[in-house]
Amino acid sequence: MKKMSLFFALLTVGSIASANTEIDPAQFDIVEMKVRELPTKFASNVAIGSVDCGSGTFADTLPQTPEDILSPLNTFDMVVDKIINIGKKIFAIVQAGKPVVNMKTDIATAMPQGARCWTDLQGWQMPQSKTYQVAFTNGFGMEVVKLSYRVLWLAGGNVEGAGQYIGYATMAPENIEVSWGFSLNANVSVPTVFNMGTKESPIAGMQMNMGYRIESPIKTIDQGQAFFVNGAGAFQQLQ
């Protein structure tokens, strides 16, 4: 009888201990996402010289024909009113909570057909940037995932006075905080570049999307933000 009583007592204690160690689902739930712009301090490591088209990295990603290789580029090879993206259309900046962006290759462009680098054009403005922070809050009101990143673009280049183009645009992570039990992946996509000016005076336009995927043991959330930049240097966060 005493042995049975001891068995039930231990079973009860074990059940209570198990119940006390259960994790509240609110811990791994995402109930709110906040985005805010942060004060930007320009960083020299993402300055204009960081994108070197002749470095053997970015240049190797461009489509080339035998004629491209044999013939020197000149302004007559460029179709100023035809704007194309010779950079990447999609690239990751965070995988498994770690930054992966390569500033030499992970960029998009909006330049005239025939150009192979921003250095083929002239009259560029100073590089511009904006810094944003996105934070995800769980059911306890704790910020469990936080990402700060910079949007950087170079605008204003022209071909012998014609047009305004985007030499490069990219997003780069600056700070990443991911709590235990969560994972963060983020990527940049550039769905389109276009001419928002005229045939004689083209102005490059570009839409850039930042996509986030947050995963926890009980939920997966996909969110995103959209931005617009043009060759005149205008920038806007889209709703």
For the segment 98-146, what is each residue's pLDDT rounded down to a tens digit? 999 887 789 999 999 999 888 899 999 999 999 999 999 998 999 999 9
14 assigned to some structural domain: no
Reference 134, options 227, 228, 25; nearest CA is 227
66 assigned to some structural domain: yes
* Adjacent-strand bridge partners of 188: 91, 210
Query: What 3-state DSSP class applies to 50?
Result: helix
Flag whether pLDDT at 187 surpasses 90.
yes
Q: Are the beta carbons of 192 and 163 closer than 8 angstroms?
A: no
72 assigned to some structural domain: yes
In this prediction, residue 62 carries a pLDDT of 46
Q: Label residue 74 by pLDDT band (50, 70, 90).
A: low
Flag whether pLDDT at 67 surpasses 90.
no
User: How many domains does one find in the chain?
Assistant: 1
The residue range of the domain holding 206 is: 25-238
57 assigned to some structural domain: yes
H or E stretch at 61: none
Q: Are the beta carbons of 202 and 80 closer than 8 angstroms?
A: yes
2 assigned to some structural domain: no
